[in-house]
Amino acid sequence: MKKFTASLLAIMFVFLCACTSGTSGEETTNEITTREPATLPPEATTADSLPEDEEIEPARVLTLYFSHLDPIEGVAEYIKDSTEGVILRIETDKVYPDTEAELVKFVADEHQRNARPALKNTPPDLFSYDIVFLCFPSWDGTIPMALCTLLEDYDMRDKAVIPVIYGTENELMQAMADIHAVTPQTMLINGYCFTTDVVTEKDALSEWINTVLYG
């Protein structure tokens, strides 16, 4: 497996510095705001300051996915294989409709009620992972409510969370904003959206994974 890129480590360090800096008197909003880049202390390690021959520990990658009547599972499996990581399907105690028309009605109602469906399975120890690929379909124009349950129940503030969505670019942007609203301290990396299947997406997906993880 390729080594975890130093540039992504530096991004995580900058994010953690920003999160732990003084925030008294600031008002939390549900919008992603643009911040000035954090200033690294002199002793901080950056991609440029790492010796070329210095070994970097391989990233520990977890792929979490939620899927129903969509091609998310195939894409999640491809990401797991490409990163040599661990994969887990998120399941709830709900029985979802088996037709697209009924599913659209169901998820719209769930979204309107701001529901939090209970999870049937528990993710592995998240402390063991550095990167979490979060794969899901766009439901009612945003993240499935099951993922709100996940994000509220499991602390991901020290992870690089990378959304992968079956939907449009606008739906990806909305999903990232909503993830940020649920867990403001989570470090979100620019995600990936698609509207076809893993066979069609394989080349583009492979190139994107390499860019995100290895620079």
Could you tell me if 13 and 45 are in contact, meaning their C-beta atoms sit under 8 angstroms apart? Answer: yes
- Across residues 176-193, what is the average pLDDT? 94
Structural domains of the chain ordered from first start: 6-19+40-214 (3.40.50.360)
Of residues 202 and 32, the one with the higher pLDDT is 202
Say how far apart CA 19 and CA 157 lie, in whole Å: 9
| 36 vs 23: CA distance, rounded Å | 14
Closest of 189, 75, 203 to residue 131, by C-alpha: 189
Is residue 54's pLDDT more than 60? Answer: no
> CB under 8 Å to 94, separation ≥6 — which residues?
117, 146
Q: What is the mean pLDDT of residues 163-187?
A: 95
Q: What is the mean pLDDT of residues 144-152?
A: 96
Contact indicator for 137, 144 with CB cutoff of 8 Å: yes
pLDDT (mean) for 46-51: 46
CA distance linking residue 46 with residue 9, whole number of Å: 8
d(CA 117, CA 110): 9
Are the CB atoms for 21 and 167 separated by under 8 Å? no
Burial 120-155 (b: 16+ CB within 10 A, else e): eeebeeeeebbbbbbbbbbbbebbbbbbbbbbeeee
Tell me if residue 157 falls in helix, strand or coil: coil
Q: What is the structure's pLDDT at 30?
A: 40
Q: 183: which 2 tokens?
A: 């867990």
Angle between helices 145-153 and 100-112 (to 10 degrees): 50
Using a pLDDT cut of 70, give the percent of the chain over it: 73
Closest CA to 173 of 142, 145, 152: 142
Residue 24 has pLDDT above 60, yes or no: no
Using pLDDT thresholds of 50, 70 and 90, give the confidence band for residue 17. very low
Average pLDDT (171-180) is 97
- Which of 64 and 55 is assigned the larger pLDDT? 64
E strands, the chain, in order: 61-65, 86-89, 131-137, 160-166, 187-188, 192-194
